[in-house]
Amino acid sequence: MKNHVREFYDTIGWSRVGDGLYQNARYEDLRPVSQEYIHNCHLRVKRHLAPTGKYLLDAGSGPIQYPEYLTYSEGYRYRVCADISITALREARKKIGGHGLYVVADIANLPFKTGVFDGVVSLHTIHHLPLEEHPRAYAGLHRVLAAGRAAVVVNGWSRSPLMDPFRALSRLRKRAWLFARKVLRGRGTGDGGPGTRDRGPGTGDRGLNTEHRKLNTVLRPPSPKNTFVEKHDPAWFKRTIAPQIPAEILVWRAASVHFLKNYIHEHRGGRRILRLLYRLEERFPRWFGEKGTYPLIVIRKA
Ligand SMILES: C[S@@+](CC[C@H](N)C(=O)[O-])C[C@H]1O[C@@H](n2cnc3c(N)ncnc32)[C@H](O)[C@@H]1O
């Protein structure tokens, strides 16, 4: 599985698709209407890190894809970029040169001394490990952290009570549209009616088996356009990770990319809606951290 992930990022995920963007950016909403919200969410990471230090670990650094990411290591002597993909590290080196140290490494088996990092970030990476390796990855990030310092981990939950209804609504709208189209074409409902299988992006039960349903986890198997992902929910995190290491669940970003792209529009007050959402997230970070799409998990070392 890890070979697939590495190959995917080496050959597809970190290939340039124009305008300085990587193929991986297709998972983000890059429209101006969402820019301010996304920018402010990125900056949340830095608040929890020690402002200065010798080494900051970026575990699963990728190419240090967004400008805000550069700010996390501003007060550090070195940013240690660790990634399973050599392409990611080559691209990262183009951005930060001598400020970086570049290590091909597996986040579930970090090859670093205990307590050597003054700060750690790991963004959107642990979900590429099979679920049984997530505890080892979290434990490793905690192990390499220096005493009194903090690590920040961001990954999406397997479900979001706040965002999932919008996905269901999109599915419903699509089915209604397909149904209307069939009726208008005079072909009756047939098997293209409301019960039509929805092939919309990410809306199917791909990769879900009974075990995943029971645990509220989601597994996305590799495909030509995607690679392996396995996610869990807050209950799994509290049961499995929180008893092992001191971790707090806050919000990174409640809004999913699907919600942004489908429900936030310039001409329908999109900016105002996102400003309000951001303010609410700031006021109730724990609630939005558990109910939204992406938590920001702060790990502190005593
Ligand atoms: C979705 S990208 C995120 C990159 C970056 N952190 C960001 O937020 O833009 C995931 C990155 O994790 C790396 N990765 C995946 N599995 C890994 C593993 N087991 N160990 C280290 N890096 C891994 C991939 O090569 C890729 O660069």
- Segment 64-115, tens digit of pLDDT: 999 999 999 999 999 999 999 999 999 999 999 999 999 999 999 999 999 9
Q: Is 170 among the domain residues?
A: no
- Of the listed ranges 64-68, 85-89, 124-128, 225-229, the least confidently predicted one is 225-229
Question: Residue 139 above 90 pLDDT?
Answer: yes
Residue to probe by mutation, ligand 1, list 30, 84, 226, 257, most atoms within 8 Å of CB: 84
The contacts of residue 213 (CB under 8 Å, 6+ apart) are: none
Q: How many domains does the chain have?
A: 1
For residue 27, with 0-12 CB atoms within 10 Å meaning exposed, 13-18 middle and 19 or more buried, which class applies?
Answer: exposed
Any ligand 1 atom below 6 A from CB of 72? no
Question: Residue 204 above 50 pLDDT?
Answer: no
Number of alpha helices (DSSP H) and beta strands (DSSP E) in the chain: 11, 11
pLDDT at position 197: 36
- Token pair of 82 as six digits: 């660790």
Q: Which residues pair with 231 in a beta bridge?
A: 218
Q: In whole angstroms, give the CA distance from residue 266 to residue 228.
A: 34
Strand 294-300 and strand 247-253: the pairing is antiparallel
Q: What is the DSSP letter of 210?
A: H
**Residue 178: which of 165, 192, 166 has the closest Cα?**
192
Q: Is 172 among the domain residues?
A: no
Per-residue pLDDT of 13-60, as tens digits, reads 999 887 778 988 888 999 999 999 999 999 999 999 999 999 999 999
* DSSP-derived 3-state class of residue 299: strand
Q: Is 282 among the domain residues?
A: yes
Q: In whole angstroms, give the CA distance from residue 301 to residue 114.
A: 12
| % of the chain exceeding 70 in pLDDT | 90
Going through the chain in order, the beta strands assigned E by DSSP cover: 16-18, 21-22, 53-59, 76-83, 100-104, 117-123, 145-154, 218-220, 229-231, 247-253, 294-300
Q: Cα(54) to centroid of ligand 1, in Å?
A: 23
Question: Residue 201 above 50 pLDDT?
Answer: no
CATH code of the domain covering residue 40: 3.40.50.150
Any ligand 1 atom below 6 A from CB of 8? no
**Residue 213: which of 166, 158, 289, 165 has the closest Cα?**
158
Q: Cα(271) to centroid of ligand 1, in Å?
A: 30
Q: Cα(125) to centroid of ligand 1, in Å?
A: 4
Residue to probe by mutation, ligand 1, list 3, 4, 5, most atoms within 8 Å of CB: 5
Q: Is 176 among the domain residues?
A: no
Q: Is 129 among the domain residues?
A: yes
Question: Residue 231 above 90 pLDDT?
Answer: yes
For range 217-221, the mean pLDDT: 78
Question: Residue 192 above 90 pLDDT?
Answer: no
Question: Residue 221 above 70 pLDDT?
Answer: yes
Q: Is 187 among the domain residues?
A: no
Q: In whole angstroms, give the CA distance from residue 66 to residue 68.
A: 6
Q: Cα(9) to centroid of ligand 1, in Å?
A: 8
Q: Is 173 among the domain residues?
A: no
Structural domain boundaries, residue 151: 2-162+206-300
For range 171-184, the mean pLDDT: 89
- Counting every residue, how long is the chain? 302
Q: Is 64 among the domain residues?
A: yes
- Confidence bin at 208 (pLDDT 50/70/90): low
Any ligand 1 atom below 6 A from CB of 290? no
Question: Residue 249 above 70 pLDDT?
Answer: yes
pLDDT at position 107: 98
pLDDT at position 213: 66
- Of the listed ranges 151-160, 195-204, 223-232, the least confidently predicted one is 195-204
Q: Cα(16) to centroid of ligand 1, in Å?
A: 16
Are 255 and 275 spatial neighbours (Cβ–Cβ below 8 Å)?
A: no
Question: Residue 210 above 90 pLDDT?
Answer: no
For range 251-268, the mean pLDDT: 97
Give the atom of ligand 1 at the shortest distance from the alpha carbon of 106: 20
